[in-house]
Amino acid sequence: MTALTTARPRTAGTAATAATASDADAPVATATVDAAPSATAAKRILAASVFGFFLVGLDAMVVNVALPAINRSLAGGMAGAQWVIDGYTLAFAALMLSAGALSDRIGAKAAYGLGLIGFTLSSAACGLAPSLGLLVTARLVQGGAASLMLPASLALVRQAFPDPAKRNRAIALWTAAGSAAAAAGPVAGGLITAAVDWRWIFFLNLPAGAAALALLAGTPKLVQARTAVGAHFDVIGLISSVVALAGLTYGFIEGGSKGFGTTPVLASFAAAGIASVVFAVAESRQTRPMVPLALFKSRAMSLTAFAGFSVNAAFYGVIFLLSLYFQQVAHKSSTVTGLLFAPITAVVTLVNVTVAARMVAKIGARLSMTVGLVGTAGAMLLLLAVRPDQPAWQLVLLLVPVSFAGAFVVPALTIMVMGSVPAEQAGTAAGIVNTSRQVGGALAVAVAGALVAGGDFAHGMHVTLIGIAVLLAAAAVAVQLLAPGRKR
């Protein structure tokens, strides 16, 4: 049963309200909206969303431990290793802004299905890649497909659970899947590489992707079929955002190996700066922008983007550095390296499922985020004590606090931002926040690689960890002092 409704934001004071209030002349379109799904249908939608999001999070981290094996197989160096990771996260971040708007435009279920198909096919291409260049290319495509899946999957969850309490529990499960997948990535990568071959890291996505598509096909008709408010495919915005992020990431990666004063590196930073200005100007002049800049007038949107950037910088940077450190400096096998990260997986999953939503309900999203950010900053400083000759149990104790990032911060920031926008703009909001997260991860890998490329790995790692701790502390202060609202 459907009804025609006017697609206006329904909550005063939200980010979406700010966006539409500043655009009084924008055409107001109607959106076909289905009735709220039954409890069984909502659970099926949640299961389909969680499954796909798990695959996206897993492939963001699964290749870290396999990097030495990939380098031996395809003859790549440090820069090549960084691009295998950043090729995925860069495309993920650069295309997610458009993907979020596209999800709102064509419908979350359709966007999610397209992303799943592209993700599965590109995974096959990664596994079959005969050279490092083709592997990086396939990873770019894979990241682009993932960028479509993530905001669409979160929009599906937001639309399937209109009740705030049930939605918070569903979001906690959704974030648990992503956080657990990211934490499980190094474990799975190490075990698969040691047991079979690094290529099977990607081949296993084929049956998993097919299963996710089958699960999605069995879900009921989409709760929010389509919306035209704020969902505009902006070519100038898309191209300028891709150039800005690509130029910034390329500059840091190549700067570490070729020098930051070289012409290509300086040119890439200049291109990133110009493209950023073009993006801001283009979006400010659009009647219906791909990224409504007025959304950032919302403290919830701006602070969750900052917190997400900081958390992913910590998590991606640490996993990248320690995966290389354990194998190249401490001379541990890929299996042992992967298993060292296993406790993080267990802690993140357990806390997300059992504690995260309850903690937000009890003390509020703001304080939950602050606790997680401070705890993660402390975890970065604890990792300064890592030494090559330490026994495994000591390394595990030092690594477990890293789980604060995914266990406490991500559920709280997702709940905060999803509670600040109406369902019809959930895809765009998810795209903005998760773009900032992926940019944080990509830049952390690029900067960390540049710092350790000079030869003194331990010194570069320590500088990176201290820098990330400072970033997390700044985010914690900003969230605690500026985030809107008390416990609701």
Give the confidence band of 381 by pLDDT, cuts at 50, 70, 90: very high
Task: Please report where in the chains the tokens 């499960």 appear, as a residue.
Answer: 173
Cβ proximity of 427 and 155 under 8 Å: yes
Token pair recorded at residue 111: 């966007």
**Res 5: pLDDT:** 32
| Nearest alpha-carbon partner for 32 in 228, 225, 221 | 225
| Nearest alpha-carbon partner for 289 in 243, 343, 235 | 235
Task: Please report where in the chains the tokens 């997680």 appear, as a residue.
Answer: 372
| Distance separating alpha carbons of residues 220 and 392, to the nearest angstrom | 48
Q: How many of the other CB atoms lie within 10 Å of CB of 255?
A: 22
Architecture per CATH, domain 37-221+297-482, reads as Up-down Bundle (1.20)
Tell me which of 331 and 438 has the higher pLDDT: 331
Mean pLDDT across 123-142:
92
Which of 138-152, 206-220, 347-361, 400-414 ranks highest by mean pLDDT? 138-152
Q: What are phi and psi of 2, to 5 degrees?
A: -125, 160
Q: What are phi and psi of 229, to 5 degrees?
A: -75, 120
Cβ proximity of 173 and 50 under 8 Å: yes
**Res 24: pLDDT:** 35
pLDDT at 406 over 90: no
| Nearest alpha-carbon partner for 222 in 435, 420, 49, 17 | 49
> How far is CA 247 from each of CA 243, 251, 255, 272, rounded to the nearest angstrom?
6, 6, 11, 5
**Res 31: pLDDT:** 41
| Distance separating alpha carbons of residues 318 and 340, to the nearest angstrom | 13
Which burial class, exposed, middle or buried, applies to 385 when counting CB atoms under 10 A from its CB (0-12, 13-18, 19+)? exposed
Q: What is the mean pLDDT of the chain?
A: 78
pLDDT one-digit tens code per residue, 306-333? 999 999 899 888 888 888 888 888 888 8
Mean pLDDT across 369-387:
91
pLDDT one-digit tens code per residue, 170-201? 887 887 787 777 777 888 888 898 888 899 99
Token pair recorded at residue 287: 């009647």
SS3 390: coil
pLDDT one-digit tens code per residue, 17-61? 333 333 333 333 434 444 556 777 788 888 888 888 888 888 877
pLDDT at 100 over 50: yes
pLDDT one-digit tens code per residue, 57-91? 888 778 888 888 888 888 766 667 778 887 887 78
**Res 8: pLDDT:** 35
The residue extents of the domains of the chain are 37-221+297-482, 233-287
Question: Which residue blocks in 325-387 are alpha helix, DSSP H?
Answer: 334-340, 342-351, 357-363, 365-382
| Distance separating alpha carbons of residues 82 and 457, to the nearest angstrom | 15
Token pair recorded at residue 64: 């870290």
Tell me which of 211 and 124 has the higher pLDDT: 124
pLDDT at 208 over 80: yes
pLDDT at 124 over 50: yes
| Most distant CA pair in the chain, distance | 66
| b/e code 30-44 from CB counts within 10 Å (16+ = b) | ebebeeebeeeebeb
**Res 418: pLDDT:** 76
Cβ proximity of 314 and 464 under 8 Å: no
Which burial class, exposed, middle or buried, applies to 29 when counting CB atoms under 10 A from its CB (0-12, 13-18, 19+)? middle
| Distance linking the first and last C-alpha atoms of the chain | 32
Which burial class, exposed, middle or buried, applies to 27 when counting CB atoms under 10 A from its CB (0-12, 13-18, 19+)? exposed
Kindly report the three-state secondary structure assignment for every residue of 58-110: HHHHCCCCCHHHHHHHHCCCHHHHHHHHHHHHHHHHHHHHHHHHHHHHHCHHH
**Res 94: pLDDT:** 74
Cβ proximity of 19 and 44 under 8 Å: no
pLDDT one-digit tens code per residue, 232-290? 567 888 788 888 878 887 787 777 667 778 888 899 999 999 998 998 888 888 777 77
DSSP annotation of 190 reads H
Mean pLDDT across 339-345:
80
pLDDT one-digit tens code per residue, 446-486? 888 888 876 688 888 999 999 999 999 999 999 988 876 54
Classify 229 in phi/psi space as left (phi over 0), alpha (psi -120 to 50) or beta.
beta
Give the confidence band of 363 by pLDDT, cuts at 50, 70, 90: confident
Contacts of 322 (CB under 8 A, 6+ apart): 340, 383, 386, 399
**Res 19: pLDDT:** 37
Which of 208-212, 391-395, 468-472 ranks highest by mean pLDDT? 468-472
| Nearest alpha-carbon partner for 56 in 165, 157, 178, 161 | 178
| Distance separating alpha carbons of residues 449 and 467, to the nearest angstrom | 14
